[in-house]
Amino acid sequence: MKLFSSVHDVPDIAALVKEALHLKQFPYAYKDLGENKTMALVFLNPSLRTRMSTQKAALNLGMNVMVLNMDKEGWALELRDNVIMNGNTVEHIREAAAVMGQYADIIGVRSFPGLKDRKEDYSEMIFNKFVQFCGVPVVSLESATRHPLQSLADLVTIEELKTRSKPKVVLTWAPHIKPLPQAVPNSFAEWMCRADVDFTITHPKGYELCSDFTQGAKITNNQDEALADADFIYVKNWSAYEPYGKILPGNEDWMLTNEKLKITNNAKIMHCLPVRRNLELSDEILDGESSIVVHEAANRVWAAQAVLKRMLESLS
Ligand code: SN0
């Protein structure tokens, strides 16, 4: 594997999930695979789980790891071509990515969408420029439109905890005060649509995701109907795709409560974190029996380790 940017880079999803669960059992089985190989983790936006779990995954494989928080420590990057750089940007992505590729064998990149220009965000301009100019394999640590390491960990978690062969999985929109990216729900949807699950998306009118990511999903604006008989409920806020990056008024009643869970099949509650308590998810759910958010976050290590293992195996 030379690129991990979406589910489309994975020829056999079930095999990758199996690999992750195997690594969970035997974390150090490949501790020499990454000997003398260096991983660079480059963040253009904040991170807790992605940074620590991917670093841990690389260390478990015997790699050296360098972390660069570009947003806080790096030079301001210029992304546009053919511009006179007489403003605030100091270094062009062409040189920056090319230089990083000289120091690292694998690069991980996080870059959130601007949520202003849909065409630019959905073209994955920043992520693709890193891929184009760094010259080494690249792992997405969440890009403008996707968060594939998160989605893989989510699928690993569902596979591990399911109590019936084809569980009902529901992605439900939750309220927030800030416009958030569509990356996590887009990515979750495109992985679930290819997994052996019964998948439903529910959101208020106006929060339709881009249909490229939701082919094959059931979609409803009726949250109760979606939650009925659910085995896993994936809670996430996202801003509107149209009008792009906007928050629509109302919908505060979309926050999950224990009352709403009564109609589910004893559903387990998932969230990629960070979660804003009592806005996106209630205390009673996060502190209760049904929440598996910490377990889900723990699985980020094994998802990342499975991907990095595949990448190391493909390095010549
Ligand atoms: C990011 C998102 O894509 O929704 C990262 C999730 C892994 N979340 C946020 O930016 C939350 C910011 C906030 O203020 O709550």
Q: Are residues 110 and 221 in the same domain?
A: no
Q: Are residues 137 and 59 in the same domain?
A: yes
Q: Are residues 159 and 97 in the same domain?
A: no
Band of residue 159 on the pLDDT scale cut at 50, 70, 90? very high
Instruction: Choose among 156, 68, 151, 73: nearest CA to 110.
Output: 68
Q: Are residues 131 and 234 in the same domain?
A: no
Quick: pLDDT tens for 260-301.
999 999 999 999 999 999 999 999 999 999 999 999 999 999
Q: Are residues 191 and 126 in the same domain?
A: no
Structurally, the chain folds into a number of domains equal to: 2
Q: Are residues 132 and 177 in the same domain?
A: no
Q: Are residues 162 and 289 in the same domain?
A: yes
Quick: pLDDT tens for 117-138.
999 999 999 999 999 999 999 9
- Percent share of the chain, pLDDT over 70: 100
Indicate whether 259 pLDDT > 80. Answer: yes
189 lines ligand 1 (CB under 6 A): no
Q: Are residues 161 and 242 in the same domain?
A: yes
Indicate whether 243 pLDDT > 90. Answer: yes
Band of residue 74 on the pLDDT scale cut at 50, 70, 90? confident
- Rounded to two decimals, the pTM is 0.98
- Distance separating alpha carbons of residues 144 and 115, to the nearest angstrom: 9
Q: Are residues 122 and 172 in the same domain?
A: no
CATH of the domain at 139: 3.40.50.1370
Q: Are residues 61 and 140 in the same domain?
A: yes
Instruction: Choose among 153, 129, 152, 127: nearest CA to 140.
Output: 127
277 lines ligand 1 (CB under 6 A): no
Mean pLDDT estimate for the chain: 97
Residue 126 domain boundaries: 3-146+300-315
Q: Which of 48, 54, 154, 180 to mutate to test the pocket of ligand 1 (most atoms within 8 A of CB)?
A: 180
Quick: pLDDT tens for 26-63.
999 999 999 999 999 999 999 999 999 999 999 999 99
Q: Are residues 8 and 98 in the same domain?
A: yes
Q: Are residues 249 and 164 in the same domain?
A: yes
